[in-house]
Structure 1
């Protein structure tokens, strides 16, 4: 019995008076430190989870408020409809007047229409506020690029004034950025078209290439020498390339355009692009932008591409060059429409006409018009699919031409998205999407096109689907993937 009491007292003493910390071994101390670190890591994770739950709670509260607002509108709709029906019955019983019944029906229709507009406004607000949009300030970027190109145009005129190279006109902003939208969140390309006119003693003649391709209109720019003997007699020091001896021309005058940027009698795109690179590099140090911005030339065979940066922001610019068809908004340009475009082939481009179409819409659109948001939304959805950005843009331009621009405001946003979706399905099923400019006789009057463009056989942008059954099957499959993606995006951002 005494031994049991002794053991109990010994155990109690060990419990009440543990050994001092200094007697612990190094391994125990290391385990405590690791445990403390683990507890600190778990504490941080718990804090992050609490923050996430708070944000989620705030989002749910916002959606709950929207849901309550929608339900309240529906309740009011039902109440108004019931009240209106009872009022109409009373009036019919008392007066039996057909005119008042018609007026009641009109009031009913007006009421329903007003509530539908309120409901559409709620959907539009939710979608436009919760969908993530690119954050670039395109308007500011376009203004900066325009100013830079104007500075370049001034020096182009000074440097080339007495040469026999093409005369460069003021650049025209084209492409998505200058149309007011962008399919990309980063690396926006600001594209400009520089019109060229022939130098002294030369003329340009555009020749349509009718061989082979039916879906593109290609041209060649034939350069022809012109007699300048009259100019020489009037005091111009220029020698006539046609009538002066070649030896005298070689000693006393710079070579003609035929001897510098042409292959045979035709203007060469790649030679012209290399010449543009030399001009851009040589003139840059003279521009005021060069004091705070850095120029980096980028490789390209059929255009002049470069990037300017000041350390905080940067702009990527592509300078295309082309020849105007008469006094129209249609050019032949250096931008290829297909792979392996020959050096002397200049495809017809409609960039300027399309840019003017969007400017035409901007002047008519209400302040809350979302037609550019619709375009931006769909071109971002389709990235990685077989539907090109240009095909989606063409489809939406057709819809913009057929649907009053007033119906592209916020309360019609969801309706327009579904209209674009259904329009794409119809085009894929029909294996046909007509070009917006070529073959279109209903363009706005301020868009000037040569007479042969609206009467030409239109281009079918989906012609490959009609020729290749596998391509059609793939396009239809990818349409349903895109459709599902659209539905999930709308559901995620609204429900």
Structure 2
């Protein structure tokens, strides 16, 4: 007889003629036995098909015998349980256990998995070093300081022809809730500027700049104020009054103070602003307990305030808003050397608004800032910038539900960030998060050319420079090993 046919006959006999069960079974047990018989019939049909397929494929007899033995043992175990002297109790007990405990077992397993993930997340979270300073507390103190400065800006500049300074906006990592460094934190604010009376600002895109960045120039234009003069306002029209009269009776226009060739000059504006900040400082209430020291800067106003116990470094940038959007042209440069009349397009305010948006959507235990803090510190000393890691995290924040950033998912999210960096390196491509990103929250207002424009690759230099890409891949291998050691608790 063909071995395949013999094995099939053996299996068929075991299924069709199981060992007899004890007499005197109750109605529920008979019902369960009938259900079991239907199940075994279905198994018989399935086995027929499998044996036929095995026979056609000429499966070795030993493998087929192993399949037969396993199936026979399964059927024998079922029959043996039903033939037990206490068959009723066994069957009924199994039924109750299956009916009542399946959900409990699933819940217990899920709870144990959650506990394990929580423990791993807690362990990793404790290894993520946070800045020694309380970021939120210091940011609130900085905000109060800036509000006091704003009051005096308005008072001092109300009748001048210098830019009108508005309430500063906190930007950068510290105001977003994280920082790449433990103690050397820079608190940045951006001060919106609007033109003084008799002037207007016109933003002109600099087409001569690099293809991957957008630079602007702020053209200053004089506007007619004859109507104001006729209404008795103490101001002469720069366009229609004689120059001699203007020179004798009115302060110079903005074109004659902070501009170069009709364009607002960043360096001249920074120098004027530094003098203004220093002159106003003694009038502020903070000056009673704090000491201010101006720091060298050509495109912003940087200073340090100390009180003997704490020291904060503050950078005051200034910029012109594009319409009513969250995009500015800012004094902060992108390259090592930027022309004094060049104002790069800044997305700092839009990014700060994005983190506020995420904070409103995320659960209280969200650890997305912890993840960003971890990698921003991990990449220090490597060829990856903290802005690279920030961009990757922002992309992941819009790609994943807010609930997936809780402590139980911390390990997975850290691995997602690591793997995203690896993929970007292999593809030599990391898309800008705001420009051309259709998934950017609609609640944050962007100019149409920014929201719908063509995005650009932050890793374009890796595609153009083989040496830079090779170094980045080396750095990633070292970073990957360091990541594993930290995750395993080998290093802090």
- Per-residue deviation at 1:230? 0.6
Please point out which of 368, 372, 376 is paired with 1:371. Answer: 368
Aligned to 1:347: 344
Equivalent residues in 2 for 1:135-174, closer than 5 Å: 135-174=132-171
1-side partners of 2:374 and 2:487: how far apart? 11
**Does residue 1:250 correspond to 2:251, yes or no?**
no
**Does residue 1:388 correspond to 2:373, yes or no?**
no
CA-based RMSD of the aligned residues comes to 2.4
**Does residue 1:476 correspond to 2:491, yes or no?**
no
**Does residue 1:426 correspond to 2:423, yes or no?**
yes
Equivalent residues in 2 for 1:42-441, closer than 5 Å: 110-441=107-438
- Per-residue deviation at 1:102? 10
Q: Note if contact 1:320-1:333 (Cα within 8 Å) is conserved in structure 2.
A: yes
Q: Note if contact 2:217-2:341 (Cα within 8 Å) is conserved in structure 1.
A: yes
Gaps of 5+ in 1: 1-85
Q: Indicate the SS of the match to 1:338.
A: coil
- Per-residue deviation at 1:129? 2.6
User: TM-score scaled to structure 1, two decimals?
Assistant: 0.78
2-side partners of 1:493 and 1:165: how far apart? 58
Q: Deviations over 1:244-279 (max 9, x none)?
A: 111111111100000000001100000000000110
Q: Indicate the SS of the match to 2:432.
A: coil
2-side partners of 1:461 and 1:258: how far apart? 36
Q: Note if contact 2:129-2:374 (Cα within 8 Å) is conserved in structure 1.
A: no
2-side partners of 1:296 and 1:388: how far apart? 29
Q: Deviations over 1:37-62 (max 9, x none)?
A: xxxxxxxxxxxxxxxxxxxxxxxxxx
- Per-residue deviation at 1:119? 1.1
Q: Do the aligned partners of residues 103 and 358 (structure 1) sit closer, same or farther apart at CA in structure 2, a change above 3 Å counting?
A: farther
Q: Indicate the SS of the match to 2:489.
A: helix
Q: Indicate the SS of the match to 2:471.
A: helix
- Per-residue deviation at 1:112? 3.6
Q: Deviations over 1:346-383 (max 9, x none)?
A: 00000111001111111122222111010000000100
Identify the range of structure 1 (251-260 vs 113-122) with the bigger mean alpha-carbon deviation: 113-122
Number of corresponding residues? 407
- Per-residue deviation at 1:448? 0.8
- Per-residue deviation at 1:216? 0.7
Q: Deviations over 1:84-128 (max 9, x none)?
A: xx9xx999x959x99x98998776655443322121011112222
Q: Note if contact 2:291-2:307 (Cα within 8 Å) is conserved in structure 1.
A: yes
Q: Indicate the SS of the match to 2:446.
A: coil
Please point out which of 447, 454, 464 is paired with 1:467. Answer: 464
1-side partners of 2:395 and 2:261: how far apart? 41
2-side partners of 1:241 and 1:390: how far apart? 45
Gaps of 5+ in 2: 1-77, 83-87
2-side partners of 1:250 and 1:371: how far apart? 58
Q: Do the aligned partners of residues 121 and 159 (structure 1) sit closer, same or farther apart at CA in structure 2, a change above 3 Å counting?
A: same
Q: Note if contact 1:298-1:307 (Cα within 8 Å) is conserved in structure 2.
A: yes
Q: Indicate the SS of the match to 1:207.
A: strand
Q: Note if contact 1:126-1:494 (Cα within 8 Å) is conserved in structure 2.
A: no
